[in-house]
Each structure stands twice: as structure tokens, then as C-alpha cells.
Structure 1
């Protein structure tokens, strides 16, 4: 039996509601509900509290889930790596378009003499690549949020025999976990700033060679 079913079965065995269990292990009812539906997994501390409350071992809770968790970590790590590579590749492609089209098509725009049609096309392609790179970044963050990889790593480490206190650093009370939207916005802005700076530097070098 998997963890969500284990939680529900043990709760009902004791005649407790989700609210009852949540209050006793110091979490919200919504958190308890998400555990029972398999949307997220409890951290090690919560597992210890649940184990004591239900009078069952942690092994019996997560025995069937540990391998699945480890496979999920590996698969999601690969996906995140590919998305990260794709994000960097798209930004570099955008910079290449920004510079390359200016070299290929240097006919000036009539209304704006200093602006070439190549620059117009290059900027449009750069914007497209930057937007796609942003999509990759958002998917990485969604993977981390949906699968709660930090919790998976905690449980995996705990089941490998590590001390819960020694692995507490795997789930820090970090700013990015408390304010995910702010953290994501900072990452996107930082990436865009780096790409634009790189484009400006390369553009300046190319312009000096004309």
C-alpha cells in the first residue's frame, strides 16, 4: 500500500478526521489533504509524528514508495538538466540572431536611419528565444514545486539510515520556498539581464569592426 493510502487507512482506523491529524502533527488540513491525495509528501519530521500518532513504523509507511521516489528524483533531475540546457541554448541563439541578422541585412530602416532591418529581425528573434527560455525556467520551477523534490530527497536519505537532524539541511526554510513568485521573478530578470548584457557586448564588438 502506498503512502497516501496508508495515511488515509490509518487515520480512519483511529476514527480521526484530516483536521484532527493535522492539529496533532502541527500542519494545516490542506497539507494533510494533499498528502492523502498524493500531491505532495510529508517531510521526515512529519513522518516521525505520523508514525508516533498511528503507532506504526516509518518503514511500513514508505517502504513501497522509496524506490518510486528515487526514480522520480532521477527522472526529474534529467528533465531539469535538459530544460536548463535548453534555456541557456535559447538565450545564446537569441544573442546570435541579434548580432547575425544585423550583419546579414544591414539595410537601414527609412524612418529610423540608425536602425537596420537586420536589427529589427534580430531583436524580434531574440525576444522569441527569450520568451521560450522563460518557459523553460518556469517548467523547472513547476517540476520542483509539483514533485517537492526536497522532501523526496529527505525521505530517501532517511530510509538510507541517515539521522533526521543530519539531513535537516535538505529542507531549509529558504527564501525561495517561502516566496516562490519573487524568487522566480528574480531568476528571470537576472537571466534576461545577462543575455542583454552579452548581446550588447557582442553587438558593440561587431559594430566596431564595421
Structure 2
């Protein structure tokens, strides 16, 4: 990305240290360092403050980075879709084998057969969660919307609703996982393991 280089050029041209710049735009020195080394990308508010401080337009500041941001967002969406789909499919397969294996397929020892899709599900869910943590989806979405001239959605009520939905889904997944675990334990107990 070119933004980090531009921030550093404008900062040094004005004789500012990273700490001085951080104080003027209300962020930490480490945040400025992360921007300059392209580890993170500034949010919309920080970009507006930077453009005002450096007397340049936001377009001049982020020139060339729009396409890269959009490509990164598409690539991350593909990765999330793949790992999320794999997690869901392997969980469904594990449930199918557990509940219908002995009856539908006549497979003895379904407990051990079920461990493979459960393991795949756990790995896929872990990979998806790592991708979600590594990117700041809200900041990237806000950035792309701002640069394309669309309104930036900062509705706190929607964000709170989203957090509630995530909490409810987490509780549901935990309860379902507990039920599956209890079922596996019961099957193993009945099978004499």
C-alpha cells in the first residue's frame, strides 16, 4: 500500500515525529507507526484528520490504495466463505454420521468415524475466526464506502444489534456443541468405550 509511504513523507516534510503526529490526530504513536509500515490502515476519521493536517485531499492521500482495499476485501470474503462453508459441511456430516450412521449405512463404530469431520470442523472454524480477527471488517467497509462516495454507516444501534446477534449465535453454537458432545459421550458409554 502506498498510504504508509505518503503519511511518512508528509510527516517528515512538516518536521513532525510520530509522537507529534499522533498527538495532533488523537491516536497513539504505535498506531502511526503501524500506518507507516502498512500493518494497519487508518479509519475514516483519522484519514480526514490526516488530510486536514497535511493540507491534501483524502483522494490524494489514498491514491492507488482503493483497488487494493477492494481486492483484499474480496479475497478475505472468499477465504471466509470457504472456511465457514467447510466448517458447516463437516459439522453436518458429523451429525449425519452420528445420528444415522448405524441405521442408514450399517457402519459400526461411528464414534471414531465422527472424529474426522469434527476435527475438520474445528480446524475450519479456527481458521475462519483467525481471518476475522486479522482484518477489521468494519473499518475496511467504512473505508471502501467513503472512497466510493457512498454514505458511511456509523449507526451504533445496528452495531449493538450485531453484537447481540453474535452473542446469541455463540450461545446457540455452544449449546448445540454441548448436546453433540453429550450424545457422543452417551454413544461411547453404550458402546463400552
TM-score of the superposed pair, with normalisation by structure 2: 0.76
Matched, 1:53 2:41: no
How many pairs were matched up?
178
Work out the CA distance in 1 between the residues paired with 2:155 and 2:113.
Answer: 42
Cα RMSD over matched residues?
3.2
- With over 3 angstroms needed to count, the CA separation of the structure-2 counterparts of 1:24 and 1:127, relative to structure 1, is farther
- With over 3 angstroms needed to count, the CA separation of the structure-2 counterparts of 1:78 and 1:85, relative to structure 1, is same
Aligned pairs for 1:98-137 (under 5 A) are 98-103=98-103, 104-105=106-107, 118=108, 121-137=109-125
Runs of 5+ consecutive residues of structure 2 not aligned to the other structure: 188-193
Partner of 2:137: 149
Partner of 1:191: 173
TM-score of the superposed pair, with normalisation by structure 1: 0.71
User: Normalized per residue, which structure has more helix?
Assistant: 2
Aligned pairs for 1:30-109 (under 5 A) are 30-103=30-103, 104-105=106-107
- Following superposition, the deviation at residue 42 of structure 1 comes to 0.8
Work out the CA distance in 2 between the residues paired with 1:146 and 1:68.
Answer: 17
Work out the CA distance in 2 between the residues paired with 1:175 and 1:30.
Answer: 31
Runs of 5+ consecutive residues of structure 1 not aligned to the other structure: 106-117, 178-182, 205-210
Aligned pairs for 1:2-17 (under 5 A) are 2-17=2-17
